[in-house]
Amino acid sequence: MTTAVAAPFRFFSLQVVRTRRLGPSFVRVTFAGDDLHAFRSLGRDQSLSLFLPHPGQTEPVVPVELGDGWWQGWRELPDDVRAVMRSYTLRALHRDAVGVTTGIDIDFALHSPPGPASRWAAHAAPGDRVLLIGPAVADNRAVRFRPPEDTGLVVMWGDDTAVPAATAILESLPPGTRVRAWLEVPHAGDIQDVPTRADAEITWLVRRDGTPAEADAANVDPADTDPLDVDPADADPVLAAGPTAAERPYVWLAGESGRVRALRRHFTGAGGIDRRRVTFVGYWRRGLTEEQLRAAE
């Protein structure tokens, strides 16, 4: 059953069509569904809410029949019954010859030990069913990448939880757009070839210990993992090559909230960039699951 949530968003009932491993830490899952014709998005860093079944369930349990009361009804379900809810970003849209959406891609970052969403993604197979809250209006509030019209340079930083959003943004940029991007991944095998029409300089930062980013609220499942051991010098290339205000930059930062805040302070402080030209998104917070993060908001 499909029902409205809060315009411009709604539920979509989907099933897995295919999966493709992108590297040691990423798997792409393609979904399709009869009601995707109503899915609208400008892409970029479009945020989605994905509901997954527990092992042994054939589909996620979400009381959509309650209409606007679905959220409270979902929260009241037993933990081992209530569908696993995680936030992800849209990686790509598939459209037919007349522009109707027929499928969507979501890239999942994998880690060990796996939590419920990472485990689900690693074993996803055609026919597996999920439920999604996605946009029915293309220009919606869940798209955060919005450079001002006078932008002369786009600056991007993201850890592996933000790689799907960052690469989708890069592929969406028009010719002539100047971009400097730093993307952090656990392994050299996770580096991706990003087709883009932009004038983009993409630097991949490989973490020295090969550890995936800790649990996130975007593209990695919140499992109990050891704290991420990242050398602070890993951020130096970003800070050293920071833009000047004269370049009319627009800065997009996404990933672990502590590192995002630190980079934002640098760009708006020592960098002298207007805060209104900096978009920062904390996809996850070290030491917190998505449930804990939502409760703390």
- Considering the chain, what is the average pLDDT of its residues? 87
Per-residue model confidence (pLDDT) at position 228: 35
Question: Alpha-carbon distance 162 to 281, whole Å?
Answer: 9
pLDDT of the residue at 66: 97
Specify the residue for token string 């130096």.
236
Mark 187-225 as b/e (b = at least 16 C-beta within 10 Å): beebebebebebebebeebbbeeebbbbbbbbbbbbbeb
- 153-296 has which fold? Rossmann fold (3.40.50)
Q: What percent of the chain has pLDDT over 90?
A: 73
Pick the residue with more confidence: 239 or 200? 200
Strands 84-89 and 92-95, by their bridges, are unpaired
Q: pLDDT value at position 144?
A: 96
- pLDDT tens readout for residues 246-292: 899 999 999 999 999 999 998 999 889 999 999 999 988 765 555 55
pTM for the whole structure:
0.86
Question: How large is the average pLDDT for residues 29-58?
Answer: 96
pLDDT at 19: 98
Q: Region 172-188: what's the mean pLDDT?
A: 96
Confidence of residue 236 (pLDDT cuts 50, 70, 90): low
Is the pLDDT at 55 greater than 60? The verdict is yes
pLDDT at 238 over 80: no
How high is the pLDDT of residue 3?
Answer: 44
Put residue 291 in one of left, alpha, beta given phi > 0 → left and psi -120 to 50 → alpha.
alpha
CA distance 40 to 98: 14
Name the burial class of residue 104, with classes exposed (0-12), middle (13-18) and buried (19+) by CB atoms within 10 angstroms of its CB: buried
Distance of alpha carbon 73 from alpha carbon 262, whole angstroms? 38
| Measured CA angle at 95 (ends 192, 137), to 5 deg | 100
Backbone torsions φ then ψ of 96, nearest 5 degrees: -85, -170
Q: What is the CATH number of domain 9-135?
A: 2.40.30.10
How far lies 147's CA from each of 177, 208, 220, 251, in Å?
A: 11, 32, 26, 8
Taking the C-alpha atoms of residue 34 and residue 15, their distance in angstroms, rounded to an integer, is 10
Q: Which amino acid is at 270?
A: A
- The pLDDT, as a whole number, for residue 242 is 73
* Distance from C-alpha of 120 to C-alpha of 253, rounded to nearest angstrom: 28
pLDDT at 224 over 80: no
Domain residue extents for the chain: 9-135, 153-296
Asked if the model's pLDDT at residue 213 lies above 70, the reply is no
* 153-296 matches 9-135 in CATH topology: no
pLDDT digits (tens, 9 = 90+) for 99-140: 999 999 999 998 777 888 899 999 999 999 999 999 999 999
Work out the pLDDT band at 225, boundaries 50, 70, 90. Answer: very low
pLDDT at 28: 98
Confidence of residue 220 (pLDDT cuts 50, 70, 90): very low
Residue 207 pLDDT exceeds 70: yes
- The confidence score (pLDDT) of residue 7 equals 66
